[in-house]
Amino acid sequence: DGGITQSPKYLFRKEGQNVTLSCEQNLNHDAMYWYRQDPGQGLRLIYYSQIVNDFQKGDIAEGYSVSREKKESFPLTVTSAQKNPTAFYLCASSIAAGNTEAFFGQGTRLTVV
Amino acid sequence: AQSVAQPEDQVNVAEGNPLTVKCTYSVSGNPYLFWYVQYPNRGLQFLLKYITGDNLVKGSYGFEAEFNKSQTSFHLKKPSALVSDSALYFCAVREGPSNYQLIWGAGTKLIIKP
């Protein structure tokens, strides 16, 4: 069953703690993305990766970090430097750039308590 | 600067009536345009895309969209709305074949009333 899997679905974090969100895909896609979604706003790009061992900052990368050691995995770490981390986080993948659509995971809702 | 506008935060339509969700864009090159739908607490699902060719593209669940280059618009349409179409709809644009980044609209909440 092909797809993109995010875990966990819900995550609670205490202020000052780092937390890592998992994203795995078995679609053999080269490109992977992390987005943040806040109420009433569109998706904002945090990081993206075009290929293994390479990634680029998106529009709101401050306070986040990623790695791309394997083609199928693109974990996102929300660090204590992120001032307002409570949000819905979406991971996506696509074959390549240009005319290909992105496929999304089901999202992780992170709440800082 | 590249941008996507969805001018309506919410659209209300009676079941069985036609629906339109509006999207306009601003990019400097040739646009690749996409529509996605999001149900509550879920990820986004791809509906349709315009790359080139016929300005009217058909997608999933009976949706279609019309690309209008002169008006820089890509409105989403459906001839007869269903209650199950109620969701959040996003328009997105990518500038050109080598660009990885998608620029997203803020989303339009579609409410279909029985």
pLDDT computed for residue B28 by the predictor: 83
Per-residue model confidence as pLDDT tens digits over B4-48: 999 999 999 999 999 999 999 998 888 899 999 999 888 899 999
Residues pairing with B52 in the sheet: none
Nearest partner of A35 among A107, A112, A113, judged by Cα: A107
pLDDT at A1 over 60: no
B63-103 pLDDT, tens digit each: 999 999 999 999 999 999 999 999 999 999 988 777 778 88
In chain B, residues with a C-beta closer than 8 Å to the C-beta of A99 are 32, 49, 51, 97
Among B9, B32, B42, whose Cβ lies nearest the Cβ of A106?
B42
CB contact (8 A) between residue A107 and residue B43: yes
Alpha-carbon distance of B93 to B30, in angstroms, equals: 10
Task: Please name the residue of chain B whose CA is at the shortest distance from the CA of residue A94.
Answer: B100
With CA atoms as reference, the chain A residue closest to B97 would be A98
Q: Which residues sit opposite A14 in a β-bridge?
A: none
* A31–B100 C-beta distance less than 8 A: yes
Going by pLDDT thresholds of 50, 70 and 90, the confidence category of residue A97 is low
Asked if residues B95 and B1 have their Cβ atoms less than 8 Å apart, the reply is: no
Give the pLDDT confidence of A26-44 residue by residue, as tens digits. Answer: 999 999 999 999 987 789 9
**B97 to chain A nearest CA, in Å?**
4
**Alpha-helical regions (H) of chain B:** none
pLDDT at A2: 64
CB contact under 8 A, B41 and A107: yes
Residue B75 CA, distance from chain mean position = 6
Cβ-Cβ contacts under 8 Å for A34 (sequence gap 6 or more): A21, A23, A45, A46, A47, A48, A58, A64, A66, A74, A76, A89, A90, A91, A92
Give the pLDDT confidence score for residue A12 in this predicted structure.
93
- Calculate the CA dihedral of residues B4, B20, A3, A50 and round it to 10 degrees: -20
The per-residue pLDDT of chain A, averaged, comes to: 92
Confidence grade of residue A98 (pLDDT, cut at 50, 70, 90): low
